[in-house]
Structure 1
Amino acid sequence: MSKKLLFFSLVSLFLFTSCFEFVEEITFNKDGSGNATLTINLSKSKTKIASIMLLDSINGYKVPSKKTIKNTLAEIISKIKKTKGIHNVKNTLDFEEFIVTVSCDFDNVEALNAVLLTFSSKKEAIAIKKNKHFIYNKKSKTFTRSHHFNIGKEFQKTKMKDRKVFETATYTGIYRFETPIKSSSNPQARISQSKRAIMLRVKAQDIITNKQTIKNKIQLQN
């Protein structure tokens, strides 16, 4: 799981901090194209992380250097740029606040699914192809967000003391549309007053233990 997009490329740092947020933002145009931005925000633990970055290892884990993190990010960006239907790939890497962002424009959600396939194992790739992470149906005006990474399985492989890091970690998904939202299948999701945006905020630990899910089917108005 340590290669799943940028989130997992920095997992070794997450094990040393007690607060981080993973934010997924997708803005859709009516034709199904749009923009996607992923943000990893560790700013609330920046003082602690800055101190840890000065060490070679901690609690049996090797601490990645700034060069290693930069190289990992560059490798990820390079792979994303090669994906058909993906354009205008950008990223930021802030070692002061410890915030990382990766963004891109996409022609359709198939391009986003293709990006996920690039960073998936063969087994996971089969699952994604069969049950896609993102589906946008222009005819029925529905957007479906799913996921097939077995995070819980990987979580069980970590040490008990390291699992505490997920107690305050959160996932936030924000989706914006040009057409007003009619309804969503996930009861935890909140639709904005304008009806053109919806947000889901979930504790990472609840996702891992299957108490809550990031899966959602959003129905837009006709």
Structure 2
Amino acid sequence: MFKKGIYTLLFGFLLLLTGCFEVIEEVTLNDDGSGDVTLTLNLSRSKTKINSIMLLDSVNNYKVPSEAEVKKHFAEIVKTIENTSGISKVSNTIDMEEFIFTLSCSFDNIDALNTVISNFSSKKEAQRIKNHKHFAFDKATQTFTRSYHYDVAKEIRNTNMKDRKIFETASIRSIYRFSKPIVSSENKMAKISGSKKAIMLKVTAQDIIKNRNSIKNKIKLQN
């Protein structure tokens, strides 16, 4: 019930927008598979429209959440993640002026990281993450894998035309940092930093929906 509530609130909140928003996923991975993650939902480019919408009761048949409701649901997310095995140093920020939401924590292993990601998903998607890990790290081969098993295009087809507008300019940016140099990256759209210890990939929602690109990647580190 909790996950369904969070999923509905976040999706409903995004459905109020026709402007831009960006999801940013940052992972810093240590040699032993532990690390830190920061997840950011940046709606700042749509803040003028959001401020206007927040004055209404509903839009497109979706109830407009109050500031108190948004903060309450994010507090519930934080509490759930704090109680997750292998997770520590949980913190979050909510900027209701710029509409930027962040959540950060440390993880002891990749399984704990996958659990964190599943807390932002519907019950069905959370089970999919459990069965097919979104993140994997093979210490023997020093290979970090970012997978994705969610059929976005199918989900979009199940929404009405008005609701689909939120994905027209949405984007996802992933930034991964390592202590060892990167040897190779399977996703050719990803950009490796000059130090070769960080890699960034920005993908639009339209690219994912139309199968032009993906957030999937397999990154080989120096062994």
Task: Work out whether the TM-score is over 0.5.
Answer: yes
Task: Provide the residue aligned with 2:193 in structure 1.
Answer: 192
CA distance, structure 1, for counterparts of residue 129 and residue 43 of structure 2? 29
Give 1:111 shift.
Answer: 0.5
**Structure 2: gaps (5+ residues):** none
Task: Provide the residue aligned with 1:48 in structure 2.
Answer: 49
1:53-94 per-residue CA deviation (whole Å, 9 max, x = no partner) reads 111012222111111111111111111111100000000000
Contact 2:208-2:214 at 8 Å conserved across structures: yes
- Higher mean displacement: 97-106 or 5-14: 5-14
* Percent identical: 58
Q: What letter corresponds to residue 71 of structure 2 in structure 1?
A: K
Task: Provide the residue aligned with 1:145 in structure 2.
Answer: 146
Contact 1:3-1:9 at 8 Å conserved across structures: no
User: What is the RMSD of the two structures over their aligned residues, measured on CA atoms?
Assistant: 2.2
**1:213 aligned counterpart, secondary structure:** coil
Give 1:8 shift.
Answer: 6.5
Q: What letter corresponds to residue 16 of structure 1 in structure 2?
A: L
Q: What letter corresponds to residue 11 of structure 2 in structure 1?
A: V
1:20-41 per-residue CA deviation (whole Å, 9 max, x = no partner) reads 0000000011111110000000
Q: What letter corresponds to residue 149 of structure 1 in structure 2?
A: Y
Give 1:211 shift.
Answer: 2.5
- Higher mean displacement: 178-187 or 109-118: 109-118
Task: Provide the residue aligned with 2:156 in structure 1.
Answer: 155
Contact 1:135-1:143 at 8 Å conserved across structures: yes
Relative to structure 1, the CA distance from residue 6 to residue 195 in structure 2 (aligned partners, 3 Å threshold; closer, same or farther) is farther
Task: Provide the residue aligned with 1:13 in structure 2.
Answer: 13
Number of corresponding residues:
221
Give 1:138 shift.
Answer: 1.4
**Structure 1: gaps (5+ residues):** none
Q: What letter corresponds to residue 190 of structure 2 in structure 1?
A: A
Pairwise mapping of residues 183-222 of structure 1 onto structure 2 (< 5 A)?
183-222=184-223
Give 1:3 shift.
Answer: 4.6
Contact 1:7-1:40 at 8 Å conserved across structures: no
Pairwise mapping of residues 52-71 of structure 1 onto structure 2 (< 5 A)?
52-71=53-72
Pairwise mapping of residues 106-145 of structure 1 onto structure 2 (< 5 A)?
106-118=107-119, 120=121, 123-145=124-146
CA distance, structure 1, for counterparts of residue 201 and residue 61 of structure 2? 35
Give 1:188 shift.
Answer: 1.1
TM-score (norm 1): 0.91
1:114-134 per-residue CA deviation (whole Å, 9 max, x = no partner) reads 234455556545533332111
- Higher mean displacement: 159-168 or 140-149: 159-168
**1:102 aligned counterpart, secondary structure:** strand
Relative to structure 1, the CA distance from residue 25 to residue 35 in structure 2 (aligned partners, 3 Å threshold; closer, same or farther) is same
Q: What letter corresponds to residue 174 of structure 1 in structure 2?
A: I
Contact 1:5-1:76 at 8 Å conserved across structures: no
- Higher mean displacement: 129-138 or 89-98: 129-138
- Higher mean displacement: 103-112 or 206-215: 206-215
Residue 95 (structure 1) aligned with residue 89 (structure 2) = no
- Higher mean displacement: 96-105 or 70-79: 70-79
